[in-house]
Structure 1
Amino acid sequence: MRAHALFLSLLPLVPFVTSRSTASTSDILPANFQPPQVWVNANQVRTINLEKSYPREAINTVIENVSDDPQTEYYLPFAGDVIANVGGLQVKDKKDPLKEGFSAELVELDSESSTQYYRLTLPPVAPKSSLTLSITYTLLSTLSPLPAKIPQASPQHLTYSLSAYIPSAYPTTKQRTRLRFPSTRVPDFTTVPRPATADTPEALDPDRQGPTFTYGPYPPLPAGAAHPITVRYEFTKPIPSVSLLERDLEVSHWGGNLATEERYWLENHAAALREQFSRLEYQKEGYSTTAQSSALKEVRRPLAPGAGNPYFTDAIGNISTSRFRPGDVVAKRDASWELKPRFPVYGGWKYAFKIGWDADLSAYIRRIASGSDHFVLKVPFLEGLKLDEGLQYKRAVVRVILPEGARDINFATAVPLANDEITIHKTFMDTLGRPTLQLTAVNIVDEWRDKDLIVTYTYPWTAGYRKPLTIAAAMISVFITVWIVGSLDVSIGRKTK
């Protein structure tokens, strides 16, 4: 089953246009594959945001069709050792950002190839015509602390390697790259000579203006041009990464309840401690107003105002300090979980836990029409933890467990998915089992936490009586069995008359 836009009667319920970047592969191309030279990048501007714990790149490019035929395919290159870390790739028309995004498909090349490609499918672009693309994506696990081990109270520095020239499979007429750092403390960076152009004199890049560095503009460059650079900047914050998030949403029509449980496997990719952890040094940091630390000291999980019946468990028991702050539906004040690990999570340390809560199902579900058996469920795909430094998810598995007897299941979401399937989840007193929509996303970040998941399904009114009838039948069977057993004569001796 594929994600798709819901039918017209549901449009008032869907506040977004469904777009999906697929990571599916097609035929294997040779390692020496070169995209047809039918495009020219007339102008490219790349902005790399390093203010969070993961880089976020945005490329605005004006592409011109220089062939004699209309073109619909544009290839976006990535280094072979980086392609597995690309996440959340979105491609849109810069002049019409509200329009549905263009599809992006990962092209499968021979494993020996040092360059991999995403193939973008565009609307037909006539010869000598142009199109302005807005390309955004994140790169997970690409920041490296240097030095890799630091004292407990020392500042942390990260390195990021890239090319001063924007990677492209086509010739580029003009380009520039901007890097935004969290502060002006950037002790090391690579300089690049910039030749003079008609608009700018000869200079030495980067051009530094506060926390923003600019490389370029550069004169025309051929396809595949590259100039490796590395920047090293201060980032004394944790680099949290969730290797796996399992998020279950269980729908109960009979109880009018939406039960949610989330299981996190969290790790800090910051610099490791050079010496053993000192509780005294850690306590001293708490009395300093200027002290910064790369340790993850606490996490907060916002919840909807109506959340109730919360629970929290560590992977090895309940040794963390947890506090639940209830919300207010009338005042529209969110509830929240506040979790403080027993030990701060320093670089290389891990922290696994699970949380759960209940919510009123009526806040998330609607009938398509009065008296109809068709329902629409609207829930957040990924709410997740809220951290100022950002959070990356290597793999997120979302399961929507529907009532037993639900059928005709469809869904729509703006989150790019790696896999989707329908499975069966069996629990207490089930007969056939509950249909479960399981969605898997990889390489996503906390910026996707506001995206919704829309699920439509049919649930006949008769299916609601399946479990009560099952329970009643089980109890009647027990009573009949007891009555039969009790009426049996198991005595050995002869009955007296």
Structure 2
Amino acid sequence: MWKLLVFFAFLAVSRAAEDVNPNLINKNVVRTIDLNSQLVKISGTITIENTGKTPVNSYLIGFERDLVGSVSYIGVQESQKNPLKVSQVSVIGRGTSEQFYNVQLRQAIEPGKTSTIIFEVVLTKALNPYPTSIAQKDKQLVRYFGNHYFYSPYPTKTQKTEVLVSARSLENYSKLKPVSQSDSTITYGPYENIDPFSINPLTVHYENNAPFLTVTKVERTIEISHWGNIAVEESIEIRHTGAKLKGSFSRYDYQRDSNTNHHSIKSYRTILPALAHNIYYRDMNGNISTSSVKPRKDYIELELKPRFPLFGGWQSSYILGYSVPSYPYLFKKPSGEFILKIRLLDHIFDDMAVDEVETNIVLPVGVSDVKVKTPYEVKRLPDGVTYKYLDNLGRNVIRASKSNLVEQHIQDIEVTYTWKSHFLLHEPVLVSIALFFIFVVVIIYVRLDFSIGKPEHSKKE
């Protein structure tokens, strides 16, 4: 029995190991690591060379184990700006299974040829405040832990990395030669002949007073009406995830010298659709008036100010709602079906990090044959039914959730369904029937005499 188990284990390892093509090498890698916000944005180009005798149509991109959980988004495209399909796979590296991303190349790399791809990666929670607690007037320092080398299952001939930081004065950074610093840029390399799965710790300790504002949860409800309106409401919980505030908060010091409150969050900007109207913004205490709406050419800029400034460890919650006309989002296909294209997640603030989003799409009364297409993998929750005004049939609710999102996840979800136009008369008919019965009851009540005795004038007669 144990021999059989060993055989299947060996077979599984062999299949995973086959994902790493030994004929591929990274001829040249150029990386840029942007540390200017609360997100770590890694971008660059990879020149891939096929040294084998058969064409290759896939390539693996990997991350160190410490960073795998922080990967929120990865996008790869060819030099012609054509996005490539990326899927997560398991690969054997250093004797254990690791998570990699398999990139399907649009055109296979022929033997002896090269191809160049462009990649973009966004990491969340990859910057650690150090110290973890600071006073109200202190500056916020953070540390980034990475790798001097481009982590890859393939050997790399030459590579170069630039690290961009938000302050010219750095506390400290690792110095694997050759290394140089110019203003806010640290340049590592070029390094040559790097083995597969190579790791050499990179650390950067620097000042970063960018807003470390995280959306811990957002519940987004989208209500569709075939009368020409779409109502959107978002219940948002936010938290300052930077260095925690040490000691008590002084309102006097805060108002006297606001320039020293580097790491506090006083306000932030939300982007709404250009056709948004009936905008409202409230929290548990009611309407928040400290907000401003600024119409732009292609969008509406809404500046939101919480009731109190947010310091490290502080949190707040609020509700934001608005309406938009349905014609830019709801279309009728020649087959008679309707297709809804609307964002699964919308812009909340710049460089946002969202821990969890739950989107509920409330469809009109009488829909059938519902089909859902998502721009990326999401968790489909059980569909629900809700009842709105004058609903006796109920409305289908499409529910989906996803965790660890950033701005690159602002993409459309497509919902296709069948709906008959006579359902437009559903609510008017219900209103007419209700009014008819009310009038009948009133007429009966007025006509009938429920008194016990007769009036005096009737007795005299």
Same fold (TM over 0.5): yes
2:190 alignment partner, SS class? strand
Alpha-carbon shift at residue 246 of structure 1 (Å): 1.7
Alpha-carbon shift at residue 299 of structure 1 (Å): 2.5
Does the 8 Å contact 1:190/1:230 carry over to 2?
yes
CA radius of gyration, larger in? 2
Specify the alignment match of 1:281 in structure 2.
Answer: 253
Mapped partners of 1:475, 1:346: distance in 2: 55
Alpha-carbon shift at residue 118 of structure 1 (Å): 2.1
Show the 5 A alignment for 1:86-485. Answer: 86-93=71-78, 95-97=79-81, 99-107=82-90, 113=96, 115-123=98-106, 124-192=108-176, 204-254=177-227, 256-286=228-258, 288=259, 291-314=260-283, 316-318=284-286, 320-325=288-293, 327=295, 332=297, 334-368=299-333, 373-387=336-350, 390-410=351-371, 414=375, 416-420=376-380, 423-428=383-388, 429-449=390-410, 451-472=411-432
Specify the alignment match of 2:8 in structure 1.
Answer: none
Q: 1:76 to 1:432 in 2, by over 3 A?
A: farther
Does the 8 Å contact 1:257/1:359 carry over to 2?
yes
Does the 8 Å contact 2:16/2:90 carry over to 1?
no
Aligned residue-pair number = 436
Specify the alignment match of 2:7 in structure 1.
Answer: none
Q: 1:306 to 1:224 in 2, by over 3 A?
A: closer
Mapped partners of 1:248, 1:156: distance in 2: 36
Mapped partners of 2:128, 2:223: distance in 1: 39
User: Larger deviation: 159-168 or 433-442?
Assistant: 433-442
Q: 1:31 to 1:117 in 2, by over 3 A?
A: farther
Letter in 2 for 1:65: N
Alpha-carbon shift at residue 278 of structure 1 (Å): 1.0
Q: 1:307 to 1:209 in 2, by over 3 A?
A: same
Alpha-carbon shift at residue 71 of structure 1 (Å): 2.8
RMSD: 3.5
Instruction: State the percentage of identical aligned residues.
Output: 26
Alpha-carbon shift at residue 176 of structure 1 (Å): 1.2
Q: Which ranges in structure 1 are unaligned for 5 or more consecutive residues?
A: 1-27, 193-203, 488-497
C-alpha distance after superposition, 1:294-324 (max 9, x if no partner): 111112323234333232222x323855335
Higher RCO structure, 1 or 2 (CA under 8 Å, sep 6+): 1
Does the 8 Å contact 1:86/1:137 carry over to 2?
yes
Q: Indicate whether 1:79 and 2:64 are aligned.
A: yes
Alpha-carbon shift at residue 272 of structure 1 (Å): 0.9
Specify the alignment match of 2:51 in structure 1.
Answer: 66
Q: Which ranges in structure 2 are unaligned for 5 or more consecutive residues?
A: 1-10, 448-461
Does the 8 Å contact 1:31/1:113 carry over to 2?
no
Q: 1:452 to 1:116 in 2, by over 3 A?
A: closer
Specify the alignment match of 1:56 in structure 2.
Answer: 41
Does the 8 Å contact 1:305/1:326 carry over to 2?
no
TM-score using structure 2 length:
0.83
Alpha-carbon shift at residue 58 of structure 1 (Å): 1.2
Q: 1:235 to 1:365 in 2, by over 3 A?
A: same
Letter in 2 for 1:279: R
Letter in 2 for 1:403: P
Mapped partners of 2:90, 2:397: distance in 1: 31
Does the 8 Å contact 1:163/1:228 carry over to 2?
yes
Mapped partners of 1:244, 1:108: distance in 2: 32
Alpha-carbon shift at residue 279 of structure 1 (Å): 0.8
Alpha-carbon shift at residue 480 of structure 1 (Å): 8.7
Q: 1:481 to 1:367 in 2, by over 3 A?
A: same
Does the 8 Å contact 1:319/1:342 carry over to 2?
no
Letter in 2 for 1:318: G
Q: 1:359 to 1:486 in 2, by over 3 A?
A: same
Alpha-carbon shift at residue 242 of structure 1 (Å): 0.9
Alpha-carbon shift at residue 120 of structure 1 (Å): 2.5
Does the 8 Å contact 1:417/1:439 carry over to 2?
no
C-alpha distance after superposition, 1:253-309 (max 9, x if no partner): 13x2110101111111111112111111111233x4xx4511111123232343332
Mapped partners of 1:178, 1:141: distance in 2: 20
Specify the alignment match of 1:6 in structure 2.
Answer: none
Mapped partners of 1:68, 1:406: distance in 2: 55
Letter in 2 for 1:212: T
Specify the alignment match of 1:16 in structure 2.
Answer: none
Structure with greater strand percent: 2
Mapped partners of 2:358, 2:268: distance in 1: 21
Specify the alignment match of 2:459 in structure 1.
Answer: none
1:438 alignment partner, SS class? strand
Alpha-carbon shift at residue 43 of structure 1 (Å): 0.9
Mapped partners of 2:21, 2:412: distance in 1: 39
Mapped partners of 1:65, 1:442: distance in 2: 37
Alpha-carbon shift at residue 133 of structure 1 (Å): 1.8
Mapped partners of 1:170, 1:426: distance in 2: 53
Mapped partners of 2:264, 2:15: distance in 1: 45
Mapped partners of 2:133, 2:15: distance in 1: 40
Mapped partners of 2:439, 2:172: distance in 1: 80
1:187 alignment partner, SS class? strand
2:307 alignment partner, SS class? coil
User: Larger deviation: 298-307 or 146-155?
Assistant: 298-307
